[in-house]
Structure formats: structure tokens, C-alpha cells
Amino acid sequence: MKVHYECFACAASQCGKIVEMGTDDLELRKKGVIEAAKLMANISEDSVPAIFGSEVFLGVYKVIENDDPFREYKELSNRLAEKVVSDLEREEIDLKTALKLAIIGNVIDFAVGYSPEKIEEDVKAMLREELYIDESEELFEALRNAKTLLYLTDNCGEIHFDRLFLKKLKEAFPHLEIYTAAKEGPIINDATVEDLERAGFEELGEVISTGTRIVGVPLEGVSEEFRAIFEKADVIIAKGQGNFETLSEIEDERVFYLLKAKCRPIARELGVPRGSMVCLRHR
Amino acid sequence: MKVHYECFACAASQCGKIVEMGTDDLELRKKGVIEAAKLMANISEDSVPAIFGSEVFLGVYKVIENDDPFREYKELSNRLAEKVVSDLEREEIDLKTALKLAIIGNVIDFAVGYSPEKIEEDVKAMLREELYIDESEELFEALRNAKTLLYLTDNCGEIHFDRLFLKKLKEAFPHLEIYTAAKEGPIINDATVEDLERAGFEELGEVISTGTRIVGVPLEGVSEEFRAIFEKADVIIAKGQGNFETLSEIEDERVFYLLKAKCRPIARELGVPRGSMVCLRHR
């Protein structure tokens, strides 16, 4: 997906958040956004928002001298989501519900002072919503015939919902060789390999790094190791907007997107109303 | 006032609004924000937000081929505000109330589908609020001893509240020679000379142009004619944030700011809580 007009103001607003979370020093915040302004001038009609944005954000990290401004936010998200998921796990959950939970996990902002009880309420309300595009049967069919699944994670917090979904996938398709990928290092609130390890993903399969801190899967930026697994996978589940933005650029029918169209550009690209949840095969 | 860190994301967000209001063509909107990104790279620690922003906005106007994206918005604002003020005028209004109304006029977004009745309600609620800094007595004292008043307007809609305040000023200080200034041409929702003329400001004194479309009063950009009147004025009333941003750079005790601190940078600069209404002499 190429940049839409809304991506510019959105990236600028994220830079504002980054400097706020990254430093209390107003002068340093100002230096950070001035750096952002310089870097954002590199935008072109062919920029992919996830890649372009990440490059700007990493430049801002350097100037504000904070390599992980979202650290606390991510820790809180993981803690809360872990609690919520462990409560949900006590109930009987089928595979389709676990898939929806994996999408819902992407929606919740765990770190805005939410209580676990309130989150569970919200999760249950969202479970009653239908997927706007639902190709989950096709996904399950593909997995039945697959040897290898590559699961591309997105954010902290959300990964606990992913873990639940992967557990159900493993039960339903015990023959599957599962790889779960996360970022090489911190970038906004994306999960890193370390986050996956801490959340116990190694019990479910091999945890791998994309080899880059760029959001999504920028194929020209990933490691050779990742690339090899990407090539060999029979099915790829791509969570969230960043993975969609980068992978929609390649024509690859192995990819299934699981996401909520949180912003207008993604909704426009998918041809769905904003806010829709989808499980969609790339075609 | 120099740029604060929040000004970057705010300017980017305004560019987003400009392209949305200026064209329905998504490709042109995208070209517009890419131009904005290039121009915003010129930001420096010493940039004055009103000036810097205006330069970016005018560059975007060119690319989207719309020299006045806020035209309809401004017309609607003027129409609604005129109606509201003509209703208010039927009541007994003292000078201090008229001053507060001039500040309040800056706050209301007339063009978001408001009914005149609802606006009048809001205006009356705001009239009950105290000014956080109130140097109106000092302003009136200065006007008592002044020959010439220069009144710097801000937005469309708001100008009808300014006209009411100026009428009251003229009644209270009939000896005053009044100049009312507006922009040379359209820039966001700022009032132009034409807007003042249409709103009947010529009955109250001489209507003059700042000689530029840049928001506020960028003294290196104004016309010689404006500069001459600016120099000779005994009291200058500067409405709104843009005039504050540009004039706070010069040390001039003739200037009284009438504004609501709508954003954090202005509130921080003035040392008042965000949302405060002030009538403040420059010192």
C-alpha cells in the first residue's frame, strides 16, 4: 500500500506522541519534531506508510536519545492483556472465536488506564460483531493442507491474544510447523522477539526476528534468515495494519490479513467501512 | 513566539484539513500533503508558527490549485455570526461585555452545523466565565488617552463580534481614530479586507490591509502603508493566536492581546491554563 493523503498528518501526530513519551525536556521534544520534519520531506507518492513512518520515528528516537519511548506503555499493555487473556482462557473458546480475539486484541488500547474487567466487557461486545470480510474457512482449509505457518505479530498487548489463537491453531492442526515473527528491536508499540519470548511463544513454535525494526515486513529490509522462512511458509498470517501495508505490495496468495481497519486509508484500500474487522486472503 | 513541539503535528493536521476542504481529488490531496512535507522541512527552532504555517499552507494551495479552500466555511461562519451578533445587539451590552464577546467570537466554530440558537446559548455560558488575565481597565485607560487605535482582526465569523466591540469602543471613546486591519488575501479562515468591508467595518473607521496573506502581523512582510499606521497607532488591539504569535516577538507595550489560549503552546507561553480567556498588555 502506498501512502494516502491522511498518512502525512498521522505520521506527524505519532511523532508528537513519540517525543512526549520519550522525554520530558521541551527543548528536546522540539528538536525531535524538527528532525521529524526534515525526515518527512523524504515522503514520495510511492512511500509505504509503515516503512516511511518507521524511518522517521527511528530518526526521532536518535535525536531525543531514547531508543524505546514506548517501553512503559508496552509493558503495561502486555501485563494487562496477559491478565485478560488468562481470564478468557478459562472459558470454552473455539478456533473461530480465537481468530476473532486475535483481531480484537489489535484494537484495544490497553494502556489508557483501562481495568481488566472493562477490557473483558469490551472484548465480549466486539466478539458479537461480525467480520466484515470473513475468509476464515479458507484460511483453515489452507492450514489443513499446509506444512509451515508463518505468523507475523503486530503490537504488544495484542500478542497475548495471538498466543491464544496460535494455541488453538496448534490443537486444530497439530501437524503444522509454526514460526512466529516479531521485530528485531523496539519501534513504537510493536512486539519484539524478546516480547514474544517473554510471553511464552517458544512453546508454540520457533520465534524469529524479521531482522529489522521497520514496522511490517519490508522485504528489502528483512534478514536472510527471515526471508528463507518467509519463502518456505505455506500460509502466512499477517496481523494488523503495518503488515498489511508492507505485504499488500507483493502479490502473494499465501498471505491472510487479520486486522481491524482502524484508519481511513486502510479502509479505503480494502474497500470496507472504517472500523471493520476482516480475515482476508490476499488476491 | 517561537515554534513549540506541538506546532509541527498541528501544522500537519491543518494541511490535512486544507487538502480535504480544497479538493475532492484524492491524488491531488496526496500531492498537496507531499508538498506540505517538503515545505515543512524548512522549520527551525526560531520559526514563528503563524508565519511558518502560512508559508506551508500557501504552498499547498498552489499544488491543489485552490486559492481559498476555506471559502465556503468562511461564508457560513460570517452568515451565522452575523445573525448571532444581530440578536445579541438587541440586548443592553456594556463595553466590558462587548470585549468579552470579541474574545468569545474567536472560540466558536460557526461552521460545524451549529444553529444560531445553540451558538447564543454557548456565548451566554462563556460570558459567565471570568477572564483569566483581565487588563481591560488598563486597555480602556490607554484608549482614553489615545488618538489612534489599530485593531488587528483574526477570523471570519469572529469579525462580527469585533464589529460590535468596535461600535462600543467608538461610543465610549468618540475621539478615537480607528483603523481595522485584515489580511490582503485568503489564508485559512482569516478575515480579508473584503470580509471587513462586507461586514460594514468602514462605518467604524478605516479598513486597511496588512499587505500580506501571512497569518498575524509578520513585520518583515507587511506593506509600507500598514507599517506606517502600525507605527503611528497609540494602542493596538491584537485578536487571536496568530497576531499574538507574531507580535509577541517584538517588545511593544502599545499592544493588548485579546484571545482564548486554545492550544497548549499559547497557554504555555502565556503561563495560563489552556482554554483561558485573556485581555493582556504586552510587557
User: In CATH, what number is assigned to the domain containing residue B97?
Assistant: 3.40.50.10880
Q: Is the pLDDT of residue B162 over 70?
A: yes
Q: For residue A264, how many other CB atoms are within 10 A of its CB?
A: 14
Band (pLDDT 50/70/90 cuts) for residue B110 is low
Per CB-CB distance under 8 Å, the chain A contacts of B3 are: 30
B43 with A32: Cβ contact below 8 A: no
Band (pLDDT 50/70/90 cuts) for residue A20 is very high
Q: Is the pLDDT of residue A110 over 80?
A: no
**Amino acid at position B128, single letter:** R
pTM of the model: 0.94
Query: Based on the domain organization, do A60 and A78 belong to the same domain?
Result: no
Question: Strand order in A255-260's β-sheet?
Answer: A133-134, A277-281, A255-260, A235-239, A148-152, A177-182, A206-209
Mean pLDDT of chain A: 95
Residue A96 DSSP code: H
Query: Based on the domain organization, do A157 and A193 belong to the same domain?
Result: yes
Q: Is the pLDDT of residue B113 over 80?
A: no
Instruction: Name which of A98-102, B82-86, B165-169, B191-195 the model is least confident about.
Output: B82-86
Instruction: Point out the residue among B4, B19, B40 whose CB comes nearest to the CB of A5.
Output: B19
Boundary of a domain, candidates B64, B82, B102: B64
Query: Based on the domain organization, do A24 and A80 belong to the same domain?
Result: no
Band (pLDDT 50/70/90 cuts) for residue A1 is very high
Boundary of a domain, candidates A43, A64, A85: A64
Q: Is the pLDDT of residue B249 over 90?
A: no
Q: What nine digits make up the cell of A176?
A: 503444522
Q: Is the pLDDT of residue B107 over 90?
A: no
Query: Based on the domain organization, do A51 and A122 belong to the same domain?
Result: no
Chain segment A158-196, per-residue pLDDT in tens: 999 999 999 999 999 999 999 999 999 999 999 999 999
Query: Based on the domain organization, do B86 and B58 belong to the same domain?
Result: no
Backbone angles phi, psi at B192, to 5 degrees: -105, 170
For B10, the closest chain A residue by CA position comes to A13
Query: Based on the domain organization, do A129 and A195 belong to the same domain?
Result: yes
Backbone angles phi, psi at A235, to 5 degrees: -135, 140
**Sign (positive or negative) of CA dihedral A200, A206, A210, A215:** negative
Query: Based on the domain organization, do A236 and A273 belong to the same domain?
Result: yes
CA distance B237 to B258: 7
CA distance B5 to B45: 9
Q: What is the pLDDT of residue A111?
A: 61
Q: Is the pLDDT of residue A85 over 90?
A: yes
Q: Is the pLDDT of residue B173 over 90?
A: yes
Mean pLDDT of chain B: 95
Query: Based on the domain organization, do B39 and B121 belong to the same domain?
Result: no
For A3, the closest chain B residue by CA position comes to B30
**Amino acid at position B203, single letter:** E
B41 with A43: Cβ contact below 8 A: no
What domain range is B55 assigned to?
A: 5-64
- Quick one: average pLDDT of B154-161? 96
Boundary of a domain, candidates A30, A64, A98: A64
Band (pLDDT 50/70/90 cuts) for residue B116 is confident
User: In CATH, what number is assigned to the domain containing residue B28?
Assistant: 1.10.8.380
The residues near B275 (Cβ < 8 Å, ≥ 6 apart) are B260, B261, B262, B267
Q: What nine digits make up the cell of A241?
A: 495494519
B37 with A40: Cβ contact below 8 A: yes
A-interface mutation test, from B1, B3, B5, most A Cβ less than 10 A away? B5
Better-scored residue on pLDDT, A263 or B283 = A263
Instruction: Point out the residue among B4, B12, B43 whose CB comes nearest to the CB of A9.
Output: B12
Count structural domains, chain B: 2
- Quick one: average pLDDT of A215-243? 96
Per CB-CB distance under 8 Å, the chain B contacts of A37 are: 8, 40-41, 43
Query: Based on the domain organization, do A78 and A48 belong to the same domain?
Result: no
Residue B183 DSSP code: B
Query: Based on the domain organization, do A106 and A210 belong to the same domain?
Result: yes
Band (pLDDT 50/70/90 cuts) for residue B283 is confident
Decide: helix, strand or coil at residue A227: helix
Q: What nine digits make up the cell of A114?
A: 483501562
Instruction: Point out the residue among B13, B31, B44 whose CB comes nearest to the CB of A13.
Output: B13
